[in-house]
Amino acid sequence: MNSGEFRRRGKEMVDFVADYLEGIEGRQVYPDVEPGYLRPLIPTSAPEEPDTFEDILNDVEKIIMPGAASPACTELETVMMDWLGKMLKLPEAFLAGQVGEGGGVIQGSASEATLMALLAARTKVVRRLQAASPGLTQGAIMEKLVAYSSDQAHSSVERAGLIGGVKLKVIPSDGKFAMRASALQEVLERDKAEGLIPFFLVATLGTTSCCSFDNLLEVGPICNEENMWLHIDAAYAGSSFICPEFRHLLNGVEFADSFNFNPHKWLLVNFDCSAMWVKKRTDLIGAFKLDPLYLKHSHQDSGLITDYRHWQLPLGRRFRSLKMWFVFRMYGVKGLQTYIRKHVRLAREFECLVRQDPRFEICAEVTLGLVCFRLKGSNKLNEDLLERINSAKKIHLVPCHLRDKFVLRFAICSRSVELTHVQQSWEHIRQLTTDLLRAQRD
């Protein structure tokens, strides 16, 4: 949607809301619809080609409005998470469908999803061990629980461990910054010998620093053998899995208990929208279910409805699935794939430009839209270059450390980025580099 159309549609939307408010007395306070009313009214998967804005808005009146106050919010979310799961070719077990044991929920952030998974895993292991040895206290078990991630995992994983009150151990990644079986097994053997209880592992697909990928096909089976909950954090990279050529990066998801990525990072859905699936929704619901009288409702125990308050920290929730519904229909799957592919292509263009300049080196494999690069030379030299780049305020780069190296990160992330922006950025970086090296010589 270009800015002209956005202006027009935005104004129409204000009219839509104003009409709704003016006519609100003519609407029912409590809906007539039965649980499950929405799923048969919309297609079973996202459209390949874009729908028109008019069609979508008509459907809001026809399909959403009858579900006032507000089963529509829950039901659209369940179906949108199935649509998105199908776009990623997630195993059937993660989808809610009409009879499945899995399902998706929209969380606010990847950090929340990791925390929810860790807390659910913690409850599950405590219950299992107490069932086997009724004398064991929760405190005695908690003391021995250990969670794991690679040394490249996002800091939110460590935070989940802190909030969840369990130890978190870091598995050293390999030369490509990936978690591998051998390193994991070594730590597990040592911890078990010390009487610790491994119960949870976060594998990252698309790490924050350099977009590396833990080896799911290796660590997944180990988690299953050891009865550890496997959570996959694909916060950024997950969006790319809608493209068949990147879907192999998700191979091994079948070993996971939960999987999460942020459509708000790279799938054109506005913040916030973090998509989380679990293979067995009872694992989440069972961990956090409380039912005070003021939250009881008529279909509560029918098993017919999803009650998302049991899947998340907050009670109240936004109607975030509307954003997904609009975006998936306005772009179609093909439009979203085109968007991802363009960013990856531009990252590769940038990589080529860097490789043509012998003063620079590429520091990690470029798989998606992130290029890690640096000037050959000291960390100080690269820190000085970054300082010049960010002080000039034409582009903004966020650095990282890869092992002991200070590295610059060029991330393609704007909706409107074009090849000329990438070329201009590179020219700018080259010019600042020349200035820096000259200043050092003088």
Candidates 4-12, 106-114, 179-187, 399-407 — which segment interacts with ligand PLP by CB under 6 A? 106-114
199, 229 contact by CB (below 8 A): yes
Instruction: Report the interhelical angle of 321-355 vs 419-441 (nearest 10°).
Output: 50
Q: How many CB atoms lie within 10 A of CB 429?
A: 26
- Pick from 260, 307, 254, 229: nearest CA to 113: 260
Bridge partners (DSSP) of residue 373 are: 362, 408
Question: Strand, coil or helix: what is 30?
Answer: coil
Residue with tokens 């908690």: 142
* CB of 72 or CB of 235, closer to ligand PLP: 235
> How far apart are CB 403 and ligand PLP at their closest, in Å?
18
Q: How many helices (H) and strands (E) does the chain have?
A: 13, 11
For the segment 177-206, give every residue that binds ligand PLP (CB under 6 A): 204
Site string (311-350) toward ligand PLP, x via CB under 6 A: ----------------------------------------
How many whole angstroms from its chain centre is CA 79? Answer: 18
Bridge partners (DSSP) of residue 360 are: 375
- The correct pick among 274, 337, 367, 382 for binding ligand PLP (CB under 6 A) is 274
Please tell me whether residue 208 binds ligand PLP under the rule CB under 6 A.
Answer: yes
Report how far residue 95's alpha carbon sits from residue 25's, in angstroms, rounded to the nearest whole number: 38
Query: For residue 21, what are the CA distances in angstroms to 15, 26, 73?
Result: 10, 10, 19
Amino acid identity at 252: G
DSSP 238-263: GGGGGSGGGGGGGTTGGG-SEEEE-H
> How far apart are CB 260 and ligand PLP at their closest, in Å?
8
- The correct pick among 77, 214, 218, 233 for binding ligand PLP (CB under 6 A) is 233
DSSP run (H or E) holding 231: strand 229-233
Candidates 45-53, 133-141, 228-236, 431-439 — which segment interacts with ligand PLP by CB under 6 A? 228-236
- First-to-last alpha carbon distance for the chain, in angstroms, is 51
Q: What is the largest CA-CA distance in the chain?
A: 79
* CB of 321 or CB of 433, closer to ligand PLP: 321
* CB of 274 or CB of 425, closer to ligand PLP: 274
> How far apart are CB 163 and ligand PLP at their closest, in Å?
13
* CB of 118 or CB of 129, closer to ligand PLP: 118
* CB of 208 or CB of 306, closer to ligand PLP: 208
> How far apart are CB 410 and ligand PLP at their closest, in Å?
16
- The correct pick among 9, 37, 60, 109 for binding ligand PLP (CB under 6 A) is 109
Candidates 8-16, 188-196, 233-241, 246-254 — which segment interacts with ligand PLP by CB under 6 A? 233-241
Bridge partners (DSSP) of residue 275 are: 106, 261
Give the count of residues interacting with ligand PLP (CB under 6 A).
13
Bridge partners (DSSP) of residue 145 are: 197
* CB of 361 or CB of 365, closer to ligand PLP: 365
> How far apart are CB 430 and ligand PLP at their closest, in Å?
28
Candidates 53-61, 109-117, 350-358, 374-382 — which segment interacts with ligand PLP by CB under 6 A? 109-117
Please tell me whether residue 235 binds ligand PLP under the rule CB under 6 A.
Answer: yes
> How far apart are CB 262 and ligand PLP at their closest, in Å?
5
272, 264 contact by CB (below 8 A): yes
* CB of 72 or CB of 153, closer to ligand PLP: 153
- Phi and psi angles of residue 246, each rounded to the nearest 5 degrees, phi first: -110, -5
> How far apart are CB 279 and ligand PLP at their closest, in Å?
20
For the segment 141-160, give every residue that binds ligand PLP (CB under 6 A): 154, 156
50, 331 contact by CB (below 8 A): yes
Please tell me whether residue 236 binds ligand PLP under the rule CB under 6 A.
Answer: yes
187, 222 contact by CB (below 8 A): no
* CB of 208 or CB of 337, closer to ligand PLP: 208
Report how far residue 262's alpha carbon sits from residue 267's, in angstroms, rounded to the nearest whole number: 8
- The correct pick among 64, 88, 110, 276 for binding ligand PLP (CB under 6 A) is 110
Report how far residue 124's alpha carbon sits from residue 166's, in angstroms, rounded to the nearest whole number: 14
- Pick from 221, 241, 239: nearest CA to 230: 221
> How far apart are CB 350 and ligand PLP at their closest, in Å?
19
- The correct pick among 73, 85, 96, 111 for binding ligand PLP (CB under 6 A) is 111
* CB of 83 or CB of 236, closer to ligand PLP: 236
Q: Interface residues with ligand PLP (CB under 6 A)?
A: 109-111, 154, 156, 204, 207-208, 233, 235-236, 262, 274
